[in-house]
Amino acid sequence: MKRNHLFLKRILQNSMVLFFLISLFGLTGCSVVSQENNLQLNDQGYFETPGLNVLVFNNQYTGYFFDEKTAGIELIHHGVRTATGGGVRLRPTTEQWDKIPMVVERNVNKENNSIEVMLRYEDFDFDSRIVVKPKDEGFLISVYLDEPLPEILEGKAGFNLEFLPASYFEKTYLMDGKPGIFPLYPSDLMEVKSTDSKISQFAGHSTFDDRGRSEYIDPKPIATGTTFIVAPEDPERFVTIKSLGDELMFFDGRNVAQNGWYVIRSLITPNKTGKVVEWYLAANTIDNWKRTPVIAHSQVGYHPDQEKIAVIELDKNEIPLKTASLYKVTADGELIEELTSDVKPWGKFLRYNYVTFDFSSVKKNGLYLIKYGERKTKTFPINENVYKNIWHQTLDVWFPVQMDHMFVNEAYRVWHGAAHLDDALQAPVNHQHFDGYKMDSSTESQYKPGERIPGLNVGGWFDAGDFDIRTPSHCNTVLSLVETWEHFGINRDETFIDQEHRYVDIHHPDGTPDILQQIEQGTLALIAQHRAFRRAIRGIIVPQLHQYHHLGDASTMTDNLNYNPDLEVYESNGIESGTPDDRWAFTNKVPWLNYYSIGALSAASRALKGYNDLLAAECLAAAKKAWIQEHEESGWESKTDDGWYYENGEIIAALQLLVSTEDKQYAERFEQLIWNALDKSVSSHIEEATLAIPYFDNEYKTKLLSYVEKYKKECNDFYNQNPYGILIGKRPWAGNHELITWAITNYHLHKAFPNIISPEYIYCGLNYIFGCHPSSNISFVSGVGTHSKKIAYGNNRADFSFIAGGVVPGVLMLKPDFPENKEDWPFFWGENEYVIDICASYIFLANAVNDLLNENN
């Protein structure tokens, strides 16, 4: 799913603005109390009662990745977001790339305690109005049309509400009194339909591979009726839905897409205007329900000398206890109270109230847990070595599994065969791809659309939970791995990598440091682009949407046979095939990206020296050549159209060429760029500015001082913005990468200016990743810490599994005030998807923390 996440520092700035706005407008206030019902329309613009929130398009479809299952009418039921996607939809169970309605108007009507939205499907000139209003023990959802349904939508448009399967596994339902069990796995009756009648998906792409038969499939309803009772046995999940008009249909969306939800739906009757659908929905609430406190702490544990502060997250109606305690778990299996001390109130952040518990004074080696009231955490160590191994699985397991064009084995298990050996064809012009790639009206290359580009079937990693070679994240990853190699010289060797035979074996040393082999893997993909185009291209990705959502062995994503249009589709002569599944190279010129690539190749040339000298020399030569060519083409004036990206790309290229060559032309260009950039945004550029210190005189460092002071002030503000005292991102993609990047910047600053930036600015970043964050206390690194992500959005997500060492994006801040990271549902990419560059950054940060702790000993 992942697009560019190179540009975190700019977002860092935006996050600061958002924090300011949130604190300005406040998060509390009076509410209008309905006379008829406990659901109150609060100042956040949603209906609220203890145990239930009803959101009505507080979150809208962003268009970023289309239907992200985070928009529409939604239920947060006893603290868990169990329903989403309430709205007028055009299929029984909509997929990610199906058409989404846009909100053209949303009125929160406090006078009559209702919320009304106007939804529009532009393609069909089709508008509908939805009104949600509390009534009796629940609320009414009413859908109105001013004009009858467009003919093309008859039998297709309906009101849908989606329920999260994982919240209802092992529970039951009643449809008009007929009992059923919610399916753990889908296997329902399907209906084959002609594509003539299909509502087209995003940009005319299709999620369904119909093998040339002009058909698609939809599930048939599992049950129909007028009253649907959901999980009556579970007071926390019990919901009643009554249709006051047409029948209700219950579907399982997982029959067409593994990330589908259970859907309840009523079709809109043709030729009807006015009220066309009306449901009464009541969700049970437990009297005076309060959310269980979350004791957020590091699942990895703590070094004796660091600050140790747990952040306790409380229901806003909870009266905080006075104290919390730390217990030691003894060798006899006993719990012994080590420390009890007062908790410190922090205040309100988003929807919860926070107190903190400081146990920094406890330094004794051992196993501990925290107790707050009746609540106990899992056990964690305090020990000098807690951070020693935290990055091993990321390098030993996660990166090898991501390696493209390679067969990857681990003991008795094959993760995947050698993939994408049929890379790649020139992408066609004027093409909008579904993963954010696009082609302009010219290829800007020597290749014709559809022509084979030699040499691209080598190196690279699957970018994220998907499988594309995304150039920006590759540049970021190579730069980061080189930085780790140069700062910490990690020579861990637990992977066997044979490029010639495309073979990787996990837990099998081969005499070469794994980090160099991974740098080589990324570099091979980047240099292949320069060999073919003398510059970077956007990336390489499958052409068809029905290939893109691939779940399973990557080597089956294409047939690994070069496409030959003279053969019939699905026909093969053993060497070539007539199936047009080869990946496309998106080749338009992107100057800022070319600069990133120049920076990455230049950095790689240093690391690879002595290991792969030929490749090292080729990288540096290609980087220098591309630097000259890019300036000849783009000029020496900083471009404003690409804005920050352009500026930052050129800064990185200049710095890396300077470090590799010590040639003063790069120093001059770097200085021309860096001060202006710092004036625009300190936090975006302070890391590069600091890394450049050794290449300039003392005056440079002195000049930098005022910027460091300014940056420190920005960091200190985080303590007022959230109880964790760190940067928390607010994008539709959760913020762990911004946070890790921030902590790494703090490491470089601490090294250069130890009297200004203390090491705690670095430790607190890792603590957050390891569990000291909102919503839960899970470690966001699979396999690291006592309790960590066991269900994540890796390429094995359909198995509700994980890839060890992967780092997920973390806690998503859903509007207006709901932090979420699902532990039972892997398919939220913005919460659970591993991406290559965040994992590379994590390896650096883990080593940085070890370095600091050794330094202090």
In the numeric block, which tokens belong to residue 482?
A: 């080189």
Q: How far is the CB of 583 from Ca ion (least distance, A)?
A: 9
Q: Are 733 and 321 in contact (CB under 8 A)?
A: no
What is the b/e burial string over 785-809, where b = at least 16 CB atoms within 10 angstroms of the residue's CB? Answer: bbbbbebbbbbbbeeeebbbbbbbb
DSSP per position, 542-564: -S-HHHHT--S-GGGSS-SSEE-
559 interacts with Ca ion by CB under 5 A? yes
Is the Cβ of residue 23 or residue 564 nearer to Ca ion in the bound state?
564
Give the integer Cα–Cα distance in Å for 499 and 521. 8
Is the Cβ of residue 468 or residue 647 nearer to Ca ion in the bound state?
468
Is the Cβ of residue 145 or residue 425 nearer to Ca ion in the bound state?
425
820 interacts with Ca ion by CB under 5 A? no
404 interacts with Ca ion by CB under 5 A? no
Q: Which residue's CB atom is positioned nearest to Ca ion?
A: 422
Interface segment toward Ca ion; rule CB under 5 A; list 380-388, 455-463, 795-803, 812-820 = 455-463
Kindly tell me which residue out of 31, 224, 292, 512 binds Ca ion, with binding defined by CB under 5 A.
Answer: 512
Kindly tell me which residue out of 162, 313, 404, 468 binds Ca ion, with binding defined by CB under 5 A.
Answer: 468
Q: Which of 679, 776, 723, 680 is nearest to 19 (CA)?
A: 723
Is the Cβ of residue 509 or residue 754 nearer to Ca ion in the bound state?
509
Task: Give the x-and-dash track for 470-509 against Ca ion (CB under 5 A).
Answer: -----------------------x-x--------------
SS3 state of residue 321: coil
Kindly tell me which residue out of 514, 687, 688, 820 binds Ca ion, with binding defined by CB under 5 A.
Answer: 514
Helices then strands (H, E): number in the chain?
Answer: 17, 43
CA angle 333, 335, 336 (to 5 degrees): 130
Q: How far is the CB of 842 from Ca ion (least distance, A)?
A: 19
DSSP state of 452: B
Q: Are 308 and 359 in contact (CB under 8 A)?
A: yes
Interface segment toward Ca ion; rule CB under 5 A; list 1-9, 319-327, 638-646, 773-781 = 1-9
581 interacts with Ca ion by CB under 5 A? yes
520 interacts with Ca ion by CB under 5 A? no
CA angle 3, 13, 807 (to 5 degrees): 45
Q: Which of residues 419-448 bind Ca ion (CB under 5 A)?
A: 422
DSSP per position, 568-579: PTT-B-SSEES-
Q: Identify the H or E element spanning 644.
A: helix 643-661
Interface segment toward Ca ion; rule CB under 5 A; list 32-40, 479-487, 554-562, 742-750 = 554-562
Is the Cβ of residue 169 or residue 570 nearer to Ca ion in the bound state?
570
Kindly tell me which residue out of 558, 588, 746, 832 binds Ca ion, with binding defined by CB under 5 A.
Answer: 558
Give the integer Cα–Cα distance in Å for 424 and 421. 8
Interface segment toward Ca ion; rule CB under 5 A; list 125-133, 169-177, 543-551, 578-586 = 578-586
2 interacts with Ca ion by CB under 5 A? yes
582 interacts with Ca ion by CB under 5 A? yes
Q: How far is the CB of 582 from Ca ion (least distance, A)?
A: 4
Give the integer Cα–Cα distance in Å for 134 and 49. 11
Give the integer Cα–Cα distance in Å for 801 and 790. 6
Is the Cβ of residue 582 or residue 817 nearer to Ca ion in the bound state?
582
518 interacts with Ca ion by CB under 5 A? no
Is the Cβ of residue 43 or residue 493 nearer to Ca ion in the bound state?
493
Neighbours of 204 (CB within 10 A): 8
Is the Cβ of residue 352 or residue 398 nearer to Ca ion in the bound state?
398
Q: How far is the CB of 204 from Ca ion (least distance, A)?
A: 20
Q: Are 794 and 802 in contact (CB under 8 A)?
A: yes
Is the Cβ of residue 87 or residue 459 nearer to Ca ion in the bound state?
459
In Å, what is the CA distance from 831 to each residue of 253, 470, 788, 804? 21, 20, 14, 17
576 interacts with Ca ion by CB under 5 A? no
Q: How far is the CB of 568 from Ca ion (least distance, A)?
A: 14
Binding site for Ca ion (CB under 5 A): 2, 422, 463, 466, 468, 493, 495, 510, 512, 514, 558-559, 561, 581-582
